[in-house]
Structure 1
Amino acid sequence: MKETLYITGSGRLSRKDRTLRFDREGDDRPRYVPIERIQDIFIFGEVELNKRFLEFMTQHLIPIHFFNRYGHYVGTYYPREHYSSGHLLLRQVMHYLDDERRLTLARKFVAGSLFHLQQVLRYYIRRGHSAIEPLAEEIAGHQARLEELTRVPQLMQAEGQAWEVYYRAMDAILDGTEFAFVRRSRRPPHNALNALLSFANTLLYTAILSEIYKTHLDPRIGYLHETNFRRFTLHLDVAEVFKPILADRLVIRLVQKKQIQPKHFTATLGGIYLTEEGRKIVLQAWEERMKATFHHRPLKRNVSYRRLLRLELYKLEKHFLGDAEYVPFRARW
């Protein structure tokens, strides 16, 4: 089974026959990984690589995602679009330029997001957090009015209001720990919980981007998020459906199990960021989550969460081609 290769230290990446070689600074023992085992690469350290290495990645259709020293996404080396389809691209553009079609898709992404916000809260209500039940009902109220909204900015505003309610609930769930939201902050994150959530969201965004590369979809065309001069937007749309059940659940579990602690953060440049040790803990937990399987009711078989992301993209392909209307995934616990 192919997997993501995470490079957290500094050094040099190079090709050695049919393997990837990583020489880490201060370590005389190179690390070798067979190319057949790699599906994508996440680079967090200061890493040197050359054109020959990039040609090797292109040959094997492996995207490389780059992050700065604070864990912020910088950009992606996207090999040539091996699966690109002119016909599907035209269909994607048609759905963007048609206001009604775009609104329909945007509404579906928001509906999927709000459904999962409620699912997460209900999960913790069943485990004794009854005080957050009114907050789950408040989010349900935001979801109930989505069909009344006739513009994409209105949908984004409704979703933002629902997330504000959800963050209050998360503070209640994590009450008694050393972590709290207070308020959502991103660039820079103003406290440890914001830093942790931002990093988990970034991993989700980038994982979806890798999966888009393996489909016929064009990642530059988003529907909820404005298609503009930003390089990619479709992965941000799809991530709305999965953030509550993948990123948020991961964050809550890491905090409650005390796998992540205040010592795993550092204050710099006016913000709070994960240390390298903290990032390694999150990356390991994230990869375990992506490999974990669950019973997919429509397919009547077990699939991994990484595979689930690809299946969601296939549903979008069918929607654009007119084969089947897109229905966002709904987790059932």
Structure 2
Amino acid sequence: MYSNCLFCPSSLGRNRALEHFPVGRRIAFDLARGRIWAVCPRCGRWNLCPFDERWEALDDCARLSETALVQEATSDISLLRHRSGLTLIQVGRPTLGELVSWRYARNLVRRRRGFVVTMAALGTVSAAGLLGVATGGGGAFSLLGSFAVFRTVWELSRPVIDVTTADGTCLQVTAPAARALCFAPDESAGVALRVRTKNVGFQDVSGQDVGILLARAMPYINETGGTADSALSAAQEIAERGGTEGFLNSVASDAALHRRSVLGRGSQERRVGAIYKFPKNLQLGLEAASQMRQEDLVLSGEMRSILAEWRSAEEVAEIADNLLEPPGWDDFKRTHRSDRTR
């Protein structure tokens, strides 16, 4: 296998993740047609791997793609990032269930474990502080407990989300306010969110700012994480409601769901559409759909260039493979073999 680009003199780079294809840091592959390319980091052109070196490398790519994170996908190709730093471009689109499971299931399980560990640690510190107060001689324990309380109050009061809206307003949102995020009742503005900010009070957010705020606030609402089954359930909800865009619009316009999710009692301001009171699969779905929607906007330019290079490389690969095994070659061999046996 060559180490430099066939279209420009640049090096294709090296990787340690693919045992049978160590060339390149950006690899494209097509399992259905048995093709693999090394993508040049400088000119972006796809360099086709020689015919006799593909099969073991394709097996390696298929194995790595099972544990890689899907960054973006179209009807033709998927962009994946492996933990080793290798970028994989897989020809063929994964199902939505695979997409959400690959990207979010492991993260949700990890988040759930982290939440349990954090709660256990806070409980231990609080118990130690109370023990110091009760015994009267545990100055260190009392100091530790006081520090834990101060730290908790500080974490709850500081802004964790800064969003600048389309009209230039800077919104500072604390963690408790992010967890209390609601859908705004004004349907004339389309999908809208209502949030309590630290600097300007209650604000309604609409337009593309909705996706930005939702993508950044949902991890606080889903801070307890989830299971692989809950991620799959969220994927099914997104698929049944027409993809990420259809899912967001459906949840935002579900008046019955909003009426069942009320925040505030008595003299407090009552707000309907409180997301933290939605069913768990909808909460996880909102996080996945909003983040995927934002990444679609960011990566759309990159994906357009990848698609163009793929189509060009596919034409070259078709010609190269046909030169190696022209149409009718199998019939030709079968016919001549039978002639020799006569």
- Greater radius of gyration (CA): 2
Q: TM bucket by the smaller chain?
A: under 0.3
TM-score (norm 2): 0.26
Tell which has more relative contact order, 1 or 2 (C-alpha 8 A, sep 6+): 1
